[in-house]
Structure 1
């Protein structure tokens, strides 16, 4: 016990100052009790101290003691008592990186085939994909520097802007890398970083750039340089159309990197240049090892909430808490209405166990019916015609009766199939599919041999074929009240199943009628699957020559609109440039 007290610390000790209010609370409580005494209105004040009954009543009342105990427990819990150590992983923040890309007209020089700009964009994209950890930002510069993407931990978001980098998005042509370094340092500073890396991609530098790099290094930001170009140089055209030459000034870039406390490397085909600059991985802040753990004090104040809850229970009216506890224990065990229980048992008998596990008890009636329809279709496809017939039997409407007849016919129960088709025709008179399939089943019954109920069992598969597969695509019952879903013959299904081959009766007229019905069903099915095609063809047929010419002219004009991914950046930079010229805030 003494060892536990020796390890006790308070994480928020300022809460212990609330104990200084205890004397004032005690005085207030005593004065309040004295003022509310029942004898105070009948007995003189100098005689109240001699009342034995009042003293006994006060002595037996547990209210003040319980209130005092609750006050002490709450204050100690808020103070955060801790008597043991725990471990937690150290959160490591990598150094951020701001990439500054030269978008002057010199970036179009061809000494790095195909151009410096394309090589720089490819290198930036590779860096963003390969960099591990740390936030990344992107800056573009020419005569001035602009923020393409602020610092973010989502490098993929920054990579979206890489393909839009081009000299034509800059408001004014020029080459001032000092502005890029200052802009990058400002981004790091505004993001709250006192350390960071700046990577400059350019071909030369001046004294102003070296001074800006030294200033950034003094603020804790390391400036590294990736040289673009070659010693032999290359030609490019400036904004005025004049041909100029650009060469890599490696000495000036090395001096700039040295002033910024960073490294210098010339652009290469692989990633050895990025590795030499040390920008592929974000270095850890304060030299904390990765994966390390540190000991921290654990707040044990929540243990004091248990006695506080017990005291809160005692604060209720006498007997009230006991009744509340009994009510909470009784509610989950209270029986539901008999009718609801019977309905649930019936649903459990009709539906498989996976429906009850997957939320069948919370389904609406139309959703449950649609689920049974899907199971019936799956049973039909797996040749479980008995299960399909049972599922269709429970569903209302002409479609269900029609598909039940298909399952019965497939099972060889022709008389029941005819009865099911009659039921479908009674619900929807003139249903062509039901009429055709009923006639086919009657013809099959006339040819049925006396040795068995199914002709295909005797080696004649054509006589046992189903009239038609169930109509899978009929929408759920919630789409049409009453449960009658539109049949496939009306072309309202969304994902109708391919129809089974029609029966092949020996009678030539019956065969011709079945073929005609099958062709009509296929035509309506194609129309149901792609209704927009007929509408488009009808609209094209009704289009006049003048309307056709106008439509073709509009399409040709739309094709001439250039795809300009840098338009947004160009407009953004132009607005910033105008604001800076007017002396506005940057």
Structure 2
């Protein structure tokens, strides 16, 4: 609801009813004033001018005037005064489109070879390819309408359901085009779209559908129709076994499109029909109708806040208002910064750990180690050990891991990384780039070795041990350390380590489908009972149907049953 008063437009005029409270405020003020002057009731009226000092008229009415002015300004601000319109662009960068396809028994009519449904799928495919990121939704309807895909910018996601569209997925037969239009309008409303296109793919229409199209146009949406069928028509068998004739009712569909402020076109080869509807270029179609953006009234009630603040200052006593104005005038107008006076020690430690994490991600391991060193916690010492290991300072890294274990005995990540660093120290490999991540301090967002990092790759401890953790496995024993000046031997050592890690990864995937963690020993082999249980579970998972048609059929049936239960009984 809005109210037009010349150039002034009130967005929420209901607030003007609050002005009726002004007389009540005046009455209350009068009673309060009399209560503050008890002598006026005890002294005769003809003696009051000689015995009582009357306040100045300006002072008597200053307070009520300030209160009344503040009240009026507040009510006007709440009413949403607006003096101009502004352009609000569409949120998704194009005119939203809702496609409603008729999946009644008539969709199988062969008057558009091979069938109306097959031709409709092709037209929807062209529409989806032309969206170019503009939002699109898909509705299937017969006697009731159901959402196949809500408004989305991913047209490819909508296209996944095209092959599953068939009358068999609908819980009821029939044709209720009015319900489809109402459902499309509801989808646009839920997406906060004030304007959009609705295109119907059907061959028949009735007066109820025209009324629904007119209501959609009244709400700011355009309803167009792509006619399915031919004037001669064909015979189809309905779900109950009856045979009836269907044909393209061009005049009725044209009237529906006219009522919906849209266009009508009969389906024909090529894309001329869609171009005549203005649907192949969402941006151009929107500009042609002047709907590339939405014109909305700007709420300018905030301009009344400074006068209200000034009136509040004037209401202060002992000229405090002037002092406040002077104070605001002399204060420096600079950006505000957070004051750290009240920061707790744990908050300060968390900030230093976060700063160390940022330095670690940038590859500044020396600076990260220094920041971690300033915090005495298990996480900080663990992260410091990782940073030192990345710099090749293995002995210092072991000392940092020991400090972490002293504060948190049994810390699995520190134990695993210390073991890996100790093994690397015995081999003394040259330091190389690794992919381990620091732990986030204060227990939030901790990055464990082997967990998924931001880039989606498995983290590993700084120095990765070669081979299996089992020292008895001769083929997994560390290779002899190459001499520092032997570059070829060093390369061979790296290749051997990489090959061994790849063999471990494949073995783990074959056993449990999990990606191995370099800092942990592989899990024990499956027992026969565990292997049998895993195979049975995989067999059950393979039996779960993932065919889109079955999913749509079950979804529509449940939605239809829910609506039937919610409908009031006559």
Q: TM-score scaled to structure 1, two decimals?
A: 0.55
Equivalent in the alignment of 2:228: 227
SS at match of 1:538: coil
Secondary structure of the corresponding residue to residue 138 of structure 1: strand
Q: Is the 8 A contact 2:228 2:266 kept in 1?
A: yes
Aligned partners of 1:172 and 1:196: how far apart in 2?
26
- State whether structure 2 residue 166 is matched by structure 1 residue 181: no
Q: Which has the higher helix share?
A: 1
Q: Please give the alpha-carbon distance, in whole angstroms, between the structure 1 residues aligned to 2:546 and 2:339.
A: 68
C-alpha distance in 1 between matches for 2:348 and 2:285: 54
Per mean C-alpha deviation after superposition, the further-off stretch among 11-20 and 548-557 is 11-20
Instruction: Provide the residue aligned with 1:69 in structure 2.
Output: 66
Cα shift at 1:64: 3.4
Q: What is the CA RMSD across the aligned residues, in angstroms?
A: 6.8
CA distance in 2 between counterparts of 1:295 and 1:216 reads 29
Q: Confirm or deny that 1:213 pairs with 2:206.
A: yes
Deviation readout 1:340-385 (Å, 9 max, x if unpaired): 9xx9xxxxxxxxxxxxxxxx9794343344445556xx257xxxxx
Picking from 488, 492, 516, the partner of 1:530 is 516
Give the equivalent residue in structure 1 for 2:144: 146
Q: Find the counterpart in structure 2 of residue 476 from structure 1.
A: 439
Match of 1:495 among 451, 460, 472: 460
Give the aligned partner of residue 266 of structure 1.
267
- Partners of 1:76 and 1:228 lie apart in 2 by 63
Between the aligned partners of 2:277 and 2:285, the Cα distance in structure 1 is 16
- The answer as to whether partners of 2:98 and 2:199 remain within 8 angstroms in 1 is yes
- In the other structure, the counterpart of 1:312 is 312
State the distance in 2 between where 1:13 and 1:31 align.
29
User: Pairwise mapping of residues 85-484 of structure 1 onto structure 2 (< 5 A)?
Assistant: 86-89=84-87, 99-104=100-105, 107=108, 112=113, 116-130=116-130, 138-141=139-142, 145-149=143-147, 154=152, 156=155, 161-171=161-171, 179-184=175-180, 187=183, 199-201=200-202, 209=204, 212-213=205-206, 216-217=209-210, 224-228=225-229, 252-254=248-250, 256-257=252-253, 260=256, 263-268=264-269, 270-277=270-277, 280=280, 289-290=290-291, 303-318=303-318, 363-371=350-358, 373-374=360-361, 378-379=363-364, 397=381, 400=384, 467-469=430-432, 473=436, 475-476=438-439, 478=441
Structure 1 residue 68: Cα displacement: 1.0
The aligned residue for residue 44 of structure 1 is 43
User: Relative to 1, partners in 2 of residues 1:180 and 1:295: Cα closer, same or farther, differing over 3 Å?
Assistant: closer
CA distance change for structure 1 residues 136 and 65 in 2, over 3 Å: closer, same or farther?
same
Q: In structure 2, what is the Cα distance between the partners aligned to 1:78 and 1:506? A: 83
SS at match of 2:86: strand
Q: Write the distance in 2 (CA, Å) between the matches of 1:171 and 1:581.
A: 15
Conservation of the 8 A alpha-carbon contact between 1:9 and 1:82: no
Aligned equivalents of 1:197, 1:422: Cα separation in 2? 67
Residues 402 and 367 (structure 1 numbering): CA distance in 2 closer, same or farther, change over 3 Å?
closer
| 1:102–1:369 Cα change, 3 Å | closer
Residue 566 of structure 1 corresponds to which residue in structure 2? 549
Aligned residue pairs, count: 476
Cα distance in 1 for residues equivalent to 2:53 and 2:368? 84
Q: Distance in 1 between matches of 2:151 and 2:398?
A: 68
8 Å contact from structure 1 (residues 13, 79) kept in 2 = no
* Distance 1:107-1:534 versus aligned 2 partners, 3 A rule: farther
In structure 2, the CA distance between the partners of 1:99 and 1:387, relative to structure 1 (3 Å rule), is closer
Shift in Å at residue 147 of structure 1? 0.6
Go from structure 1 to structure 2 and tell me whether the alpha carbon gap of 1:275 and 1:71 turns closer, same or farther (over 3 Å shift): same
Q: Which residue is equivalent to 1:59? A: 56
Secondary structure of 2:53's counterpart equals helix
Contact map agreement 2:112 2:229 (CA 8 A) in 1:
no
TM-score normalized with structure 2 length: 0.56
Match of 1:543 among 528, 531, 538: 528
**Separation (CA, whole Å) in 1 of partners of 2:111 and 2:104:** 14
Q: Gaps spanning 5+ residues in structure 2: where?
A: 1-5, 215-222, 407-414, 450-457, 466-478, 509-514
Q: CA 1:585/1:109 → structure 2, altered by over 3 Å: closer, same or farther? A: farther
Cα distance, 1:61–1:254 mapped onto 2, change above 3 Å? closer
Change beyond 3 A, Cα 1:122–1:471? closer
Structure 1: gaps of 5 or more residues: 1-6, 203-208, 344-359, 381-385, 410-416, 442-465, 487-492
Displacement of 1:394? 6.8
- 8 Å CA contact retained: 1:135, 1:153: yes
Please tell me whether the aligned partners of residues 15 and 75 of structure 1 are also in contact (alpha carbons under 8 angstroms). Answer: no
Secondary structure of 1:122 counterpart: helix
SS of alignment partner, residue 364 of structure 1: helix
2: CA distance between counterparts of 1:424 and 1:99? 65
Deviation of 1:169 (Å): 1.8
Cα distance in 2 for partners of 1:426, 1:194 equals: 65
